[in-house]
Structure 1
Amino acid sequence: MALRITEKAVSRIVAVAAASVPGTTELGRSLERIAGRSYPRYDVVVDDAAGTCSIEAFIAVVWPSPVTAVAEAVRTTIAHSVEDMTGLTVTRVNVVVGPVVNGRPVTAGLVAAHPTHPSLRPVTTPAPVRLRPVTVGRRRVR
């Protein structure tokens, strides 16, 4: 049985990775109705046979911030997170910066200090317990 990683699972990894980068933001619900599109959003294509995936990320960025540095950090963080968590080879990550929203200032130093690899730790599970069937009120039928 081969392990299959779905686009939905990769999309969730991408969303968490992109949101972790300083300078990214979500477009508010009221603005979403006006613009007609929500940010961030992600298009993920997984090729199971080749073990690869390609990603397109549409993000919103706060201003003032180094927008190019934020987009580069998002691209690098997404690629490293997907490869480290899934083992898939990321063939491309396109980052499209959509709306720029007023917010708290983000410096280039803050963006550069952001770790691009996720901090992962192994998952441990307890050893399986051997079960025995339990019978209650066992009677002989005549």
Structure 2
Amino acid sequence: MTDVDTGGPGTLVIKERVISRVAVAAALTVPDVVRQVGGMSRLTGRDLPRADVSVGEHSASVNLYIAVQWPSRISDVAHAVHDEVARALDEIVGLPLHRLNVVVAGTSPRSDAQSPISENTHPVLRPRPPTASPAAHYAAVVLAVALLGVAFVAGREFLIVHGTIVGAPWIANTVEWIADLHWATWMIAGAAGLISVGSILVGMGLTPRSKTHTGVRSPSSPSPMVWLRPTDVARMCSDHAGNVPGSESVRTTVTKKKVTVEVRRVASGDDAILTESVRDAVAPVLAVLADTRKVRVRLLHPSGVGETRS
């Protein structure tokens, strides 16, 4: 990975797998480049296209393995892939491409052999956004521990029956205790509790995963190539707003529908000018996001009195 100096407080860390995913997504926008995940690739996880990335101080080198439709003019496809990957890395990551080696590692027959060579016939797949862990994750862990407990009890009973160990059988005693039970009022509360727990578990199992990232758009691709956490967006906004003259410190909060930029100014002045300057500073960051958000700028004067501008 590489650290890019943003000119403000802190650094922006770009991991190699981010560059790899950007290169793969850019390659798929080229006509005649197809995704290939069948056969041994599905078992080994080495699907096509895939990229091996080496990041230097000011540039990146990529070995890109692709699958192309057959027949196709491979030299033209390689040049188009080079241009798209270079453009995507420069526009999205901000890192120039030093060298790109294109390796044609697979082919896929066209659905219509009479179609022109330059026609793109493969469907464009929209990537799935990153999501949080399922709501039933913790319930599954509890259930797994309970099943391990049942297995332990069953193994103990097996050893007692065969005389390997000596002890009171838990299962037999439990069955006898249940058989001797008679109706009691506490059973109503127990049944209601079990119904509530069962309903909660069913709801957790049916709850869809929540999105944890927001996509970044690119002029060369209709689908997001990079996904950012709200914290990443907030840091980028704070870094840009912190360069505005008159701002002493900046704190940004990002939600699914709103971006709040809280600016503590150095001295009193024209609030309208500072507010618009902050809006203009964070506009380039928010313009590339796939999800639009409302921007609010809150100014904190040296005295500590806050004023909100919508």
TM-score, normalization by structure 2: 0.35
Q: How does 1:40-55 map to 2 (within 5 A)?
A: 40-47=49-56, 50-55=57-62
CA distance in 2 between partners of 1:33 and 1:90 (Å) = 29
Partner residue of 1:127 out of 296, 302, 305: 296
1:66–1:106 CA contact under 8 A, matched in 2:
no
Paired letter, 2:296: A
Q: SS of the residue aligned with 2:47?
A: coil
Cα-to-partner distance string for 1:98-139 (whole Å, 9 max, x where unaligned): 11210244534x58xxxxxx5179424512558xxxxxxxxx
In structure 2, relative to structure 1, the CA distance for the partners of 1:76 and 1:106 (3 Å cut) is farther
Flag structure 2 segments of 5+ consecutive residues without an equivalent. Answer: 1-9, 121-217, 221-282, 288-292, 300-310
Instruction: Tell me what 1:61 maps to.
Output: 68
Structure 1 match to 2:244: none
- Match of residue 117 from structure 2: 107
Check the 8 A contact 1:23/1:106 in 2, yes or no: no
Structure 2 partner of 1:11: 20
Output one character per residue of 1:21-65: Cα deviation in whole Å (capped at 9) or x when no partner. Answer: 010112232252589842111011222xx2211111000001122
Residues 36 and 87 of structure 1: is their aligned pair in 2 closer, same or farther, counting only changes over 3 Å? Answer: closer
Root-mean-square deviation (CA, aligned residues, Å) is: 2.7
- Kindly tell me: are residues 65 and 106 of structure 1, through their superposed partners in 2, closer, same or farther at Cα, counting changes over 3 Å? farther
Distance 1:87 1:35 in 2: 32
Distance 2:75 2:93 in 1: 27
> Equivalent residue for 1:97?
104
Quote how far apart the aligned CAs of 1:95 are: 0.5
Q: Secondary structure at the match of 1:62?
A: strand
Give the aligned partner of residue 92 of structure 2.
Answer: 85
Relative distance call for 1:88 and 1:35 in structure 2 (3 A) is: closer
User: 1:6 deviation in Å?
Assistant: 1.1
1:38 aligns with 2:47: yes
Query: Separation in 2 of the partners of 1:2 and 1:42?
Result: 25
Q: 1:68 to 1:35 in 2, by over 3 A?
A: farther
CA distance in 1, matches of 2:96, 2:45: 33
TM-score between both structures, scaled by the size of structure 1: 0.71
Given the superposition, is the C-alpha separation of residues 106 and 80 from structure 1 closer, same or farther in structure 2, using an over 3 Å criterion?
farther
Q: 1:29 to 1:76 in 2, by over 3 A?
A: same
Contact 1:64 1:106 in 2 (8 A): no
Q: Measure the CA separation in 2 of the matches of 1:36 and 1:14.
A: 18
Checking the alignment, whether the CA contact within 8 Å between 1:43 and 1:55 is kept in structure 2 is yes
Q: Match of 2:23, as an amino acid?
A: V
